[in-house]
Structure formats: structure tokens, C-alpha cells
Structure 1
């Protein structure tokens, strides 16, 4: 059975990230899709290897964190390492077209008031 996240050894997290605690704004959010651009190579960090194998098809950052059982902040650091070396690409989902977005809440309130007055 895998250890629970809250049981994670802080020293291990320090080693996994090389002592880094955050990254500059990398544009990665929970739903950013990650895709491997190469196979793992000998000598790579085990977490990097797992990410590359996991992301042969687009995989969300949150899914990667869940599978690795690591905090998202740690996974973002690992992903930045792979992005910097060109081993992965990251794609943010496209925003929905304007016509498929929900109507303005004020318009919905006015419709509700109109219906209540009937």
C-alpha cells in the first residue's frame, strides 16, 4: 500500500525537488495537459521517468500529482525540469467559445424576477 500524502517524508520531498520550494510563473495549472516528447533515458530521476511514461497521451497536472502521490507544488517543479529540457510539452485547455459560455448572472436574475412576476 502506498504511503498517504500526509505521511510523506519532508526530506524526500526536498531531495525530489533538489531543495527548490517553488517555480517562477510557469503557466501550469491543475488542468494543464502534459504530453511526453521522448522516452526516459538511463540515469533520469525516477519521478521524471514515471511522468514521461504516464504522459504518452495528454494527462492533466492534477492527475500526475495524484498518480505520483506528491503535492501539486512538487509536481510543478518536476514538470518545469522536463519542460526546460524539452522532454514534455504543456497545453492549457482552450477556453470555451463565447457562444457556449453561460449567460451573465444579472440577465439570469432579471429572467427569474420576470418569471416570479407572472
Structure 2
């Protein structure tokens, strides 16, 4: 193996553990207690968007989170640790459980704040 190929492989191996996984869901999800099937109109609702390893919240206290770890906890259930930084807080962590109820509904069981029920946005 050439030295250059070895160095590339070594760098990729070392960088791997530092990269966070993507969220188990993606797209925009609006706050909703409805059990109706299908996406909803999220106009005016609190919207949480999952994109790769980033989560944004339209009406939460922190506008953006970055995923640190995802641990499966059974069928369609994951323990998630996110980190965030604001003007006054640096690299704080928040832990919650994400449950995929069905293709159109998820729930975030927050450590503090109860359960946030979300439905896929149109």
C-alpha cells in the first residue's frame, strides 16, 4: 500500500467516530395532536426540521441543534443527544427520545417539558 493511500485511510478512520449520525427521520414536522393520516399544513405551527445531523426549531428556545449521538432503543425508538450553542451557552447537551409512531407521526419525549407530538408537514 502506498504511503499516500495509507494516510488517507488513516485520516478517514480517525475522522469517522467524530462524525455524528443523521437523524432517523428527515424533513419538516409540525406540532400536532391529531392522529389523522397524511401530512398537514404547518403554516403558523411550531415546526421542527431534521436535515442530516442538524435539527432546527421554529419556536423553541434554541433555534438549531447538532446531533452528537443516536442510540437505538427498540423498534422505531431512539435515544438522541444533541448539542447547541447560543450567545450565552457553549456546547450544551440535550437528551431526548424520538419515537416514530407511524410514517406521518413522531413524538419527542423530552427530559424536561414532556412529550412533543409532531406530524409530517406538506
Q: TM-score range by the shorter chain?
A: under 0.3
Calculate the TM-score normalised by the size of structure 1.
0.21
Q: Does 1 or 2 have the higher relative contact order (CA < 8 Å, sep 6+)?
A: 1
Calculate the TM-score normalised by the size of structure 2.
0.21
Larger radius of gyration: 1
Identify, as 1 or 2, the structure richer in strand. 2
Identify, as 1 or 2, the structure richer in helix. 1
